[in-house]
Amino acid sequence: MATLASTVKWQAFHLQAAVTTSSQPPAWTAIQPQPTDHTVQQHLRLEAFEGKFDVKEFVGTISEKLIAQSKSHAGPFDPKPFIRTFEAAVDKLITVRKDVQTKTEQMEKSVRVGEREYSKKMAELNRGFEAVGQSFTGMENKMNEVGRTAIRVGEQLESVHQQRQRAQAAYDLIDYYNQFSRGDTSQVDSLKKEGKQGRRQVAVLLRRLNVVAKDVDLPIAEKTRENIDKYCEKFEKDMLHLFDRAYRKGDPKMMHHCAQTLLDFNGGASCVQVYVNQHDFFINRVRETNHADDAQLWDALPDPDASPPKDEPGLAELFKEIRGTVGQEAQIVQAVFPNPPYVMQVFLQRVFAQSIQQHLENLVNAGSAISDLAFLRMLQMVHRQTAILVEDLKGYELPSTGPKSPEGSDFQRSLTGASSVSSAAHSASVSTMLETAMEELFVPYLEGNRYIERESKNLTELYASFLTTFTRYHGRVQKGGKSSMFDRVVNQLSATAATTSTTGGTTTSAAAAAAILRYGGLSAKEQEKEEPVQEEDGQLNINVAEIMLRWHAEAVGRCVELSLTGDVPKHAFALLRVLAAAIGSTYIELALETAQAKVEVADGKAEPNLQSLDILSEVDYICHLWQQYVNMAILPLASSSVTIRREMTVFNNQTVSRIEGGANHIIQKVADAIIAWLSSQLTKQKRTDFKPRNDDLSFARVNTEPCEACCETLEKVRDAAKSTLSGKNLEVFLTEIGVAFHSLLLEHLKKFPVSATGGLMLAKDLKSYQDTVATFGIPALHERFEFIRQLGNVFLVRPDILKSYITEGYLGRIDATLLRPYLAQRSDWGQAEKGFNDSTGDDGGASEVKGLRDRFGMGRLSMIMKDLEPLNLRDHMTMPSLPERFTGLSMPSRAAFGGTNGGP
């Protein structure tokens, strides 16, 4: 109705607008309206205003015909037809508007009446709905009250039922107890024959009777207890026999019934044992290890240069069979037994304790019969493969379904006592059991210090065997000489090998020492059968060090894998000690000791043997490689233990310090021998070399014989040093040689008279010295030998310019009185000395010389040489301690051993 009223109002609005627009007649004339034709009447009907209305279109439609008529008549425009038509249209529109208004008012009245009736009906409906809602609320309250009453009644009924069950159970127990006291089992037998349900009831009843029989204190209690025990034993045997028959027939339903019944009876442990013991995997499975099938693996096992084995065919076959068997058993156990996790644990424990352990013992015993390395490699391989197997078997973690027993009352639980076997079986998961089983499997080989002692013994024997020829060579070289470090090492090893532990057994240290003596050929008996050795057998070789480090790295890898996490730092330190003893003491220090002995016994009057420097290069490379290995592979393993890491660092510093001390001692001895040789060559200088009698012969020579010998020696020293040393070590060594030779020349020039022509020979010699030392490439030596050259020129200048020459350049820095020993060797010094004294005695001359001295800031020869004093190598042989985080060794040589630029 509201829609209808809106439509009517909208039509009335359009009509009123049309009437309003068209009902304004022109004021300039009064013309009577004319009746409109049929077309105009169609547009003035009410239906024309119901749709979309346009005033312009409406006016155009009415006047369309009039416009056409006006165009058809010639003459002026006649508005009268238009006026009459529109006046008639306006009158019609007014009539239509009145009709519309009348209809609108009627419709509005009808709408208001309808709205009032609708409101009344809605109010009545709301009152009806409220009444229905109140009825439902009342009904719901009544239902809730009835429900609460039913719950209370149910609780009371449950309590009554439980009391009745307790009473019935107590009555049945007492009745059956009395029957057993009389020896009557007919009723129990009949109950057992009722099928599966009867057997389960008998199992529960017998378990209760066992509990009651232990608490009853009556005269007939002992006999009754015996009767009950006998019947329980017979019942268990019958159920196990039934389970065995079902197992052989492959009847999983009957097996499940027997397992569940025995679980209700005594926890089901006997049923599980029968199932596991009769499994085909454990019956008639005698595995024999046949090494002939894989001879290549066993032949390469004791070879330290061969790769460790990844797998063993027999072990791989066994583990493959275990994976397949466990996969099948997991499904069977889950379908048959009510407590599958416990059964899987028992089965897997049997697998580890019988099959895997037996094969493990065969393999490691076979490896142990070959060598310690074969034993350790086989143990590592089995451990790795077993760990992979354990991870695979952890995927068979079965869900625990719990015992499916019909009993559930408190009284029954108090009587049954909850099977301890079943509850214990669920306390640990299969994953935990597997980890424990694997740990127990390797306890005989890894417990305590057994593993690390055998690992250390293996490395010691390998190193001793590998260095047999090396140690025998150095033993022969040092034999017969004074007591050396080699002798001390041999004596100490002999004493250690002779010691035994307090229990009478040989200690690990004693065994290791005996192995070194045995493999090194150091015992008295074996020394009698020594084979010939060559020079190259005793030389250091970085390839040997690489092999030793590779063997050690394999041992460290085994240590990390086989040791407990908390024992890794301690075991890594033990292996570091073995490596330090082998590569440090037995290899490097022994070679340094031999080299030092050779230098010490060398003839001081003979040309020094610079081959002793060759060992320093190899020591440098080996120590760098060794310490980088320690930094990257050993020290990170001790990161979890600050104490052990600190001990490692201190121990490593001490070992390296000993090596550097030996290297420093050698290079010091070599330097001393070089300086002594140069000094001996200078002593061969003839007094007539710089004061020749035959000038032609003198000029025919380029240099004197001592000069040529010294330059040749210096060139050999330079070449040998640059080929064996580098960085700061090379610089310090050549600096000392140059400084010491410079000092020798200063003393040498004081001893020989020099003539005018001899001064030319001296200048040639000094120039050769300067050029040779310049090839050292040491800036500190350039100034020293330039001073020597200018000092030699004092024998060439004329006496009249001698005074001015010594006051200029390098010589100007020196007090003239310090130069007198050199000037006195001039052959014309007798005539030149008087003028020189007069000039120097003059105040002006003295002031001039003093001014030069002040200008250069030097007044004495000792002061100009103060910064260039010969270096004392022994004062500089220090080794900086390694930082807490070791960054590797820089193996310098000579005075600054331990410097950062000493490495190659």
Q: What is the mean pLDDT of residues 766-794?
A: 89
pLDDT at 305 over 70: yes
Q: Which two tokens stand for residue 648?
A: 């490692």
Supply the pLDDT for residue 794.
Answer: 80
The least confident of 504-513, 653-662, 892-901 is 892-901
How much is the average pLDDT of 35-46?
68
Interatomic CA distance for residues 225 and 719, integer angstroms: 105
Average pLDDT over residues 678-693: 85
pLDDT at 698 over 60: no
- Taking residues 598-624, what's their average pLDDT? 84
Q: Which two tokens stand for residue 638?
A: 């001790």
pTM of the shown model: 0.65
Count of Cβ atoms closer than 10 Å to residue 73 Cβ: 9
pLDDT at residue 517, rounded to an integer: 56
> For residue 531, what pLDDT is reported?
63
Decide which of 221 and 855 is more confident. Answer: 221
> For 421-449, what is the mean pLDDT?
76
Per-residue pLDDT, averaged over 3-23, amounts to 44
Short-list 605, 535, 549, 534, CA closest to 579? 549
Q: Which residues touch 417 (CB under 8 Å, ≥6 apart)?
A: 211
> Can you give the pLDDT at residue 858?
35
H-helix or E-strand spanning residue 386? helix 372-393
Instruction: Give 754's strand partners.
Output: 826
pLDDT digits (tens, 9 = 90+) for 370-408: 999 999 999 999 999 999 999 998 888 776 654 444 443
pLDDT value of position 182: 78
Among 902, 858, 854, 852, residue whose Cα is nearest residue 876: 902
3-class secondary structure, 338: coil
Q: Would you say 112 and 59 are in contact if contact means Cβ atoms under 8 Å apart?
A: no
Q: Which residue has the tokens 């025998």?
A: 472
Helix axis angle, 340-350 relative to 430-441, nearest 10°?
10
pLDDT on residue 166? 80
289-298, 382-391, 661-670 — which is least confidently predicted? 289-298
The predicted structure's pLDDT at residue 837: 60
All residues at 6 or more sequence positions from 90 whose CB lies less than 8 Å from its CB, including other chains = 19, 22, 23, 25
Question: Is pLDDT of 430 > 90?
Answer: no
- How far is Cα of residue 188 from the mean position of the Cα atoms in its chain? 67
Rounded CA separation 374/372 (Å): 5
How high is the pLDDT of residue 894? 31
Q: What is the dihedral of CA 242, 245, 247, 253, to 10 degrees?
A: -50
pLDDT band at 19; cut points 50, 70, 90: very low
In this structure, how many other beta carbons lie within 10 angstroms of the beta carbon of residue 485?
18
Extended strands (E) in 530-674: none
- 25-29, 33-37, 893-897: which is most confident: 33-37
What is the C-alpha separation between 509 and 514, in angstroms, rounded?
9
Helices 705-724 & 642-682, crossing angle to 10 degrees? Answer: 160
The structural domains of the chain, with segments of one domain joined by +, span: 1-19+34-174, 183-278, 310-399+429-447, 448-522+536-668, 685-835
Q: Answer for the pair 377, 132: CB distance below 8 angstroms, yes or no.
A: no
Confidence of residue 574 (pLDDT cuts 50, 70, 90): very high
DSSP per residue, 563-594? S-GGGHHHHHHHHHHHHIIIIIIIIIIHHHHH
Instruction: Tell me the C-alpha distance between 269 and 271, whole Å.
Output: 5
**895 vs 511, residue with greater confidence:** 511
- Give the pLDDT band of residue 417 (cuts 50, 70, 90): very low
Q: Which of these, 696, 777, 790, lies nearest to 737 by C-alpha position?
A: 777
Percent of all residues in the chain with a pLDDT value above 90, rounded to a whole number: 25
Token representation of residue 810: 């390098």
Alpha-carbon distance of 82 to 455, in angstroms, equals 131
pLDDT band at 674 (very low <50, low <70, confident <90, very high): very high
Give me the mean pLDDT over the 538-548 stretch: 91
Residue 594 has pLDDT above 50, yes or no: yes
**Following CA atoms 425, 426, 431, 434 in sequence, which dihedral angle do they give, to the nearest 10 degrees?**
-10
Residue predicted with more confidence, 526 or 183: 183
pLDDT in tens, 366-376: 989 999 999 99
Cα 212 to Cα 227: distance, rounded to the nearest angstrom: 13
Tell me what pLDDT residue 510 has.
56
Residue 72, amino acid: S
Q: Is residue 708 over pLDDT 80?
A: yes
Q: What is the pLDDT of residue 611?
A: 83
Model confidence at 852, in pLDDT bands (50, 70, 90)?
Answer: very low
Across the range 466-495, mean pLDDT stands at 67
* Rounded Cα distance, 206 and 23, in Å: 119
Question: Mean pLDDT over residues 532-554, rounded?
Answer: 88
Residues 277-281, mean pLDDT to the nearest whole number: 74
- CA–CA dist 490, 473 (Å, integer): 14
What integer pLDDT is reported at residue 871 of this predicted model? 36
pLDDT digits (tens, 9 = 90+) for 639-654: 999 999 999 999 999 9
What pLDDT is recorded for position 710? 93
Model pLDDT, residue 522: 52
Decide if pLDDT at 411 tops 60.
Answer: no
Q: Using the predicted structure, report yes or no on whether residue 422 has a pLDDT greater than 60.
A: no
- List the Cα angle 676/677/682 in 5-degree steps: 95
* pLDDT class of 514 with cuts at 50, 70, 90: low
- Give me the mean pLDDT over the 829-845 stretch: 55
What's the sign of the alpha-carbon dihedral 562, 566, 567, 573? positive
The residues, any chain, with a CB within 8 Å of residue 365's CB and separated by 6 or more, are none
Q: What pLDDT sits at residue 488?
A: 55
C-alpha–C-alpha distance, residues 705 and 689, integer Å: 9
Cβ(593)–Cβ(540) under 8 Å? no
- Tell me how far apart the alpha carbons of residues 81 and 79 are, in angstroms, rounded to a whole number: 6
Better-predicted residue by pLDDT, 835 or 129: 129
Instruction: Please give the pLDDT value at position 832.
Output: 59
pLDDT, mean over the chain: 76
> Is the confidence at residue 495, as pLDDT, over 60?
no
For residues 255 and 799, which has the higher predicted lDDT (pLDDT)? 255
Look at residue 37 in the predicted model and tell me its pLDDT: 64
Assign domain 685-835 to a CATH class: mainly alpha
Q: Which of 27-36, 513-522, 821-830 has the lowest mean pLDDT?
A: 27-36
Taken as a whole, the chain contains a residue count of 904
Question: Rounded CA gap, 101 and 107, in Å?
Answer: 10
Quick one: what percent of the chain has pLDDT higher than 70?
Answer: 75
User: What pLDDT is attached to residue 695?
Assistant: 57
Q: Higher-confidence residue: 888 or 661?
A: 661
